[in-house]
Each structure stands twice: as C-alpha cells, then as structure tokens.
Amino acid sequence: MLHKVSLGTGNIDKYRLIQNREVIDEVVNLGEELKGLRLCHINSTPFGGGVAELLISYIPLLRAVGIEADWQIIRGDRRFFTITKGLHNALQGAVYEESRNVKTQRVYQSNNETNARELDPNYDVFIVNDPQPAALRHYSPDSKAKWIWRCHVDSSEPDDVTWRFLRPYIEEYDAAVFTTEDFIPPNLHLAKIATMAPAIDPFSSKNMFIKRYVCRELLENLGIDRHRPLITQVSRFDRWKDPSGTISAYRLAKAKIPELQLALVGSFVIDDPEAWDIYAAINEEAIRDDDIFVFSNLTGVGNMEVNAFQRASDLIIQKSLKEGFGLVVAEALWKGTPVIAGNTGGIPLQMPGDLSNYLVDSVEECAKNIVYLLKNPAISKSLGEKGKEIITENFLLPRLIRDELTLIKSLVAK
C-alpha cells in the first residue's frame, strides 16, 4: 500500500479568534452535511513543497469537522521524478520534447499504474495534486469514487506536446481545480472546472506568532548581523523562483545601500532532481560575497526558522518568473512584512491595491523597489499592515476548506 502520512485532528474553533466567523460556521455546517465522507489527498512528497505545506495543516482540520480525511504519497524512482519535473515545467510553458518520447511516456504510465495498484481504494473522493500522479484515475477504472485533479501551477500556456499527452488523463476526472480562471488550459473538456486559491495556516509553526526580537536573535545565531538591513527570499531551489535574479537585484541595491544582506532560504523535495543544480549555482554566488547567506531544510533551517526569517527581515523578495500561487507571499504578508514579488501567476491575487506597486517585471525594477522601501520605513510598515489585512480576509485555511467542501458536496450530491 502507498504510504499514508500520520497526522492528528485539528481544532476549527480556534480560527474564530482571527477569521470571519461566518466562514467558520460555513465550514462547520458543510462538515455536518458531509460527516463521515472518506476523502483522500494524493501527491508526490510529504515535505518541502507547497502542496505538502498545505496538507500538513489541512488534513487535521478536515478531520476536525467530521471528514474522514487521509493523505497518501505516491512512489517513484529518480527517472520518474526527472520526467515529472519536466512535465511540471512544461505545464508552466517550458518546451519538453521528451513528452512525445514513447519510452518517457511509458515510464510515466507504468509508475502511475503501479501506484494505482498500491493505492488504498476505500474512499468516496480522491483529490490528486499536480502532474506526477495525474494518471492514477486512468489506472483505477473500477473506482466508484469521485476524482478531482488539483493543479497548483500556472498552466495558462502549457507546452503543446506535453498538454496533448496529459489532457486525456485529466479529462477522465469528475472535476479539475485551478488557482485562477487564467490558469485553465485550452481545450480542457470537463463537466466541472472550479477555481480556488490556496491558503496558509496561521497557527502552524511557520506562521505562529514569535516576538521579533527572538527572531532577530535566532538569525544572529546563523551569522546574520541583526543591526544591518536584511532581505530574504524563501522558496524551493527552482529556476522558476529566479534566485539568480534575486541575487542580481540585491547587488544593484547594495550599490546604493552597502550594508545590505541577502538570505536565500530554500528547501529540497524528493520529487525535484533539478534542485541540486540550482543549489550549487547559488552557493557559487554566495561564496564570493560574505553578505549572501544560503540555508536549507537539510542544514537545520526548518519551518520555525523560516518564520523567524520572514518576521525579522526588512523585506521579503519573491522574484518568481512563474508562480502558481506563492504561499511564501501570503506567509510574509500575514506577518506584516512587506513583499516585493514577480508580477506573475497567482502572486497578484495576494497583492492588490497599493501592494501591486511592488510587483516587478525585471531585476532593475526589483532593485529600485528594495532601495525605496528600505529608505522609507513608514511606507514599508504601511504595506505590511495592509498585506496582513488582505491575507486575513482571503487566504487563511478555513476559506480554502469551505471552497473545497462546497465542490465536493456538488459532486457527491449527484
């Protein structure tokens, strides 16, 4: 059988302290209507990526409102995950000619077929996340469950060859979910297509309240000078996150603010073989500059440390080139820290109004905004406060649970 992630049961009532009570009441009522429903989320890694980040908090809260929720992880070797990383990049627009290669297709198909055989089938609803396990529905022909495919990337302009390969598998699902309408790929024919943005858990170790002076002390223990300005990017080691662009923007800004420091806090996941090359390239840059720091989940920098970086930094940079949503943007804004981010994908959803002035399309624009906000702390503080309000109203976990249970209710009612 596939591995099930061991998790407990959460407490939905504590969210009433910070979230609109009407949203919590809707979630509780939906839980009552669907009480006893067996629901299983499936993805390719139990840690490190945005999906895992969501599900760690999400599954316990589903259980708290009466849903019998589980989380299963597919298996695969390096060859399989190299292929699925190519599919992932291709959904975001990169050319991936390998997806027309019969041998490549067969590796993907055979791994999904094997995982389908090992899947615990005893659920009423399966939610399959991203392209890695997308063919599971195809290889579960006798399943009576409802199947939902959840796409977390910007699939608005997928590589044609790859999309022709994946689309038939997706169209076997009962529904598909995308972050925004703009991400729905062309020629996708499904009876139900929904949109819902991800969300963060304000009570997780990554987002719980920590006093800023404690965060500063923690960073000082990692070699950061607490008395000098610090900008930080938190992300997977992924080319779409453009860490090299962030380093270039930092260098331009440092010419105006010589005391500036940059921290790049990244994570490795088991389904991303490209990460090591990105990590090596970043380290090469850091070796040449004593004010660039590189940390990862493999060197003891986990969720609590990320929390500290996001609270203690003067600015958070998320200079993504493509981004399905960008949970780190919501995380930073929730903490009242201003963000400069790539004007792409799901990021603008989180940065409307005045915050949109800090959505950037170039290294130069990013550097200019870094200098401006560091020299104007009152504006910076105001942006952080507005950002926290936006996240509180729109991007906390109960709202996402409400959206997902509403979709599930519409499927199982039929």
CA 15 to each of CA 32, 59, 76, 303, 397: distance values in angstroms, whole numbers, following the listed order: 18, 15, 37, 20, 9
The strands making up 339-342's β-sheet, listed across from edge to edge, are: 292-296, 261-267, 230-236, 315-318, 339-342, 359-360
Per the CB < 8 A criterion, the answer to whether 224 and 259 are in contact is: no
CA nearest neighbour of 80 among 133, 149, 137: 133
pLDDT reported for residue 414: 57
Per the CB < 8 A criterion, the answer to whether 339 and 235 are in contact is: no
Residue 317, φ and ψ in degrees, nearest 5: -110, 135
CA nearest neighbour of 206 among 234, 231, 243: 234
Total residues found in the chain within this entry:
414
Q: How confident is the model over 288-313, as a mean pLDDT?
A: 93
Could you give the CA distance from residue 343 to residue 359 in angstroms, rounded to a whole number?
5
Least confident of 125-139, 257-271, 306-320, 382-396: 257-271
Could you give the CA distance from residue 313 to residue 212 in angstroms, rounded to a whole number?
10
CA 121 to each of CA 15, 40, 147: distance values in angstroms, whole numbers, following the listed order: 32, 9, 12
Q: Is 310 exposed, middle or buried (0-12, 13-18, 19+ CB in 10 A)?
A: buried
pLDDT reported for residue 186: 82
pLDDT over 70 (residue 105): yes
Query: Where do the domains of the chain lie, and which CATH numbers do they carry?
Result: 3-199+397-412 (3.40.50.2000), 212-394 (3.40.50.2000)
Q: How confident is the model over 30-35, as a mean pLDDT?
A: 98
pLDDT reported for residue 300: 83
Could you give the CA distance from residue 408 to residue 215 in angstroms, rounded to a whole number?
40
Q: Residue for token digits 């003067």?
A: 314
pTM above 0.85, yes or no: yes
- N- to C-terminal Cα distance for the chain? 30
* DSSP three-state, residue 3: strand
Written in H, E and C, the secondary structure of 18-81 is: CCCHHHHHHHHHHHHHCCCCEEEEEECCCCCCHHHHHHHHHHHHHHHCCCEEEEEECCCCHHHH
pLDDT reported for residue 23: 96
Q: What single-letter amino acid sits at 194?
A: A
Neighbouring C-alpha atoms within 13 Å toward the C-beta of 18: 21
pLDDT reported for residue 348: 97
Could you give the CA distance from residue 31 to residue 37 in angstroms, rounded to a whole number?
9
pLDDT reported for residue 201: 97
Q: How confident is the model over 262-277, as a mean pLDDT?
A: 84
pLDDT band at 275 (very low <50, low <70, confident <90, very high): confident
Q: Residue for token digits 């109004």?
A: 353
Residue 99, φ and ψ in degrees, nearest 5: -70, -10
| CA angle 89–181–71, rounded 5-degree value | 60
pLDDT over 80 (residue 403): yes
Could you give the CA distance from residue 333 to residue 339 in angstroms, rounded to a whole number?
7
pLDDT reported for residue 12: 96
User: What integer best gives the mean pLDDT of the chain?
Assistant: 95
Per the CB < 8 A criterion, the answer to whether 194 and 173 are in contact is: no
Q: How confident is the model over 222-229, as a mean pLDDT?
A: 96
Tokens of 42: 């499936």
Residue 124, φ and ψ in degrees, nearest 5: -90, -30
Other CB atoms within 10 Å distance of the CB of residue 171: 16
pLDDT over 90 (residue 36): yes
pLDDT band at 107 (very low <50, low <70, confident <90, very high): very high
Percent helix, strand, coil in the chain (nearest 5)? 50, 15, 35
Could you give the CA distance from residue 361 to residue 365 in angstroms, rounded to a whole number?
7
Element of type H or E holding 184 = none
pLDDT reported for residue 320: 96
Locate all alpha helices (DSSP H) within 302-355, ordered by sequence: 303-312, 327-334, 347-350
Tokens of 145: 């469950």
Q: Residue for token digits 């720091």?
A: 293
Could you give the CA distance from residue 197 to residue 195 in angstroms, rounded to a whole number?
7
CA 46 to each of CA 6, 8, 23, 56, 69: distance values in angstroms, whole numbers, following the listed order: 10, 15, 28, 8, 15
Q: How confident is the model over 341-350, as a mean pLDDT?
A: 97
pLDDT tens digits, 164-221: 999 999 999 999 999 999 999 989 999 999 999 999 999 999 999 999 999 999 999 9
pLDDT reported for residue 132: 97
